[in-house]
Structure 1
């Protein structure tokens, strides 16, 4: 049953940046539809339901069936989506030639295909009514060739680029698109990507609550993009003027399996 508050949809909301984005939205009085591909989304939803309604959807957003399931839940609510947080993402470490096709394809299908399929549906509804806000979680990883993380970085390069293109297409529509570009963040990402034995996997990381706050506020302002954290801002600025071959070698030092044991 539809509530009386504005509605926000947050994907990848069971943990990490997505959960923190959902928490901020609930604190701002948004009712929520929160989504993840794991049962933990139910527990997350319960913890977020403080003065707002929260609906949990367990769906695999790397599949069209998962996207359709989520979109059906949105339509069943009966209200327009005021804010879409397209945050769901998947990582994968180690050498590309040693990765299973099913595993790296799931990274692409989650980070690109599923993200775009959902945005296309929701953003079209927003454009039709002339208002709405979209926050897409990209990454500063999109600025550099991802040695030992090649597919993931490639998907984030796509998403970073796509967000700016979509923003310009919608510039006169009343719909804003913001791309949040975090660096390494303290989430389950590196464990799930099998990267705990790497330097980046073991180094100190940003707080997901801080990252989410930066992105949430940028979305409210209607900014085009935001890089969270001064170190990440510096790294992204340097990446823009550094040859790709050098960047790839730098990334190797962070992501090559076994590098974390040297610290």
Structure 2
């Protein structure tokens, strides 16, 4: 595919999980900062998101289920078909599952969570990072969470998936430090998105409490990525305080702190 003169000069980014929430706002950050963008998600909203993001840059969308191996390969094929080097990629696609692991949650949902949050991130990072290493240039952003630094009762598999992403990003960052590729972990706290509703956590304290603005979280993540930082705890000052406290407190204490926020029925029922 022949590239236009504009495409030859504008950087190119890929954002997954970009139909709404943090992913959509990350894509907006790239567009506003001079990038052409390819966005991906499994729902129909990805097409409307691309229309809304359109501006001076080129925005394309792919509807794809990244929880499937074939879905990741399909997205990577779309990236290759554009014939453009990926200057930055935000591996943001993810889902939560709330509830007691042994009594309430479904195995199918948790295996899907692992496939999307963990497996697809490793899969796509493998494909794209090799290309970046060959060019000796690129930026990779993983959306982790402050849940990564503490046990997460009633979100046990979700919290573990985010801990994986944090550890993976830090290890990959070290491996790629000498080849011109940076890796950054974005660690938001509770954010005003559809996440808690989809995770079945509407009746929890965290589900009902005030949350951070996804635009603020995305801006902080984008700025950290562009600065080449290893990670950023995004959102409110409360998130940074919580993440710092989790590093000093014993795991049983942080687990209990998380439990109070995420246990089913812990929220004040809205009338």
TM-score above 0.5: yes
The aligned residue for residue 252 of structure 2 is: 245
Give matches, 1:93-172, under 5 Å.
93-97=98-102, 98-172=104-178
- Counterpart-to-counterpart distance in 2, 1:174 and 1:63: 30
Residue 105 of structure 1, CA deviation: 0.4
List per-residue Cα deviations over 1:39-72 (Å, max 9, x = no partner): 1000000111101111110111111111001000
The aligned residue for residue 268 of structure 2 is: 261
The aligned residue for residue 65 of structure 2 is: 60
- Counterpart-to-counterpart distance in 1, 2:123 and 2:133: 15
The aligned residue for residue 238 of structure 2 is: 231
Structure-1-length-normalised TM-score: 0.98
Q: Any stretches of 5+ residues in structure 2 without a counterpart?
A: none
3-state SS, counterpart of residue 38 of structure 2: strand
List per-residue Cα deviations over 1:133-184 (Å, max 9, x = no partner): 1111110001111111100001011111111000000000100001010000
- Counterpart-to-counterpart distance in 1, 2:19 and 2:42: 9
- Counterpart-to-counterpart distance in 2, 1:251 and 1:29: 39
Residue 131 of structure 1, CA deviation: 0.2
3-state SS, counterpart of residue 191 of structure 2: coil
Residue 261 of structure 1, CA deviation: 2.3
Give matches, 1:37-52, under 5 Å.
37-52=42-57
Q: Any stretches of 5+ residues in structure 1 without a counterpart?
A: none
Q: How many residues align?
A: 263
Q: Which runs of 4+ in 1 moved over 4 A?
A: none
Residue 192 of structure 1, CA deviation: 0.5
Structure-2-length-normalised TM-score: 0.95
Match of 2:212 among 184, 206, 211: 206
Is the aligned partner of 1:35 residue 2:40? yes
Equivalent residues of 2:169, 2:184 under 8 A apart: yes
Residue 231 of structure 1, CA deviation: 1.1
Equivalent residues of 2:141, 2:185 under 8 A apart: yes
List per-residue Cα deviations over 1:193-240 (Å, max 9, x = no partner): 000100000000000000000010010010001111321111011001
Match of 2:25 among 4, 20, 41: 20
Which 10-residue stretch deviates more, 201-210 or 252-261?
Answer: 252-261
RMSD in angstroms over aligned alpha carbons? 1.1
Residue 262 of structure 1, CA deviation: 6.1
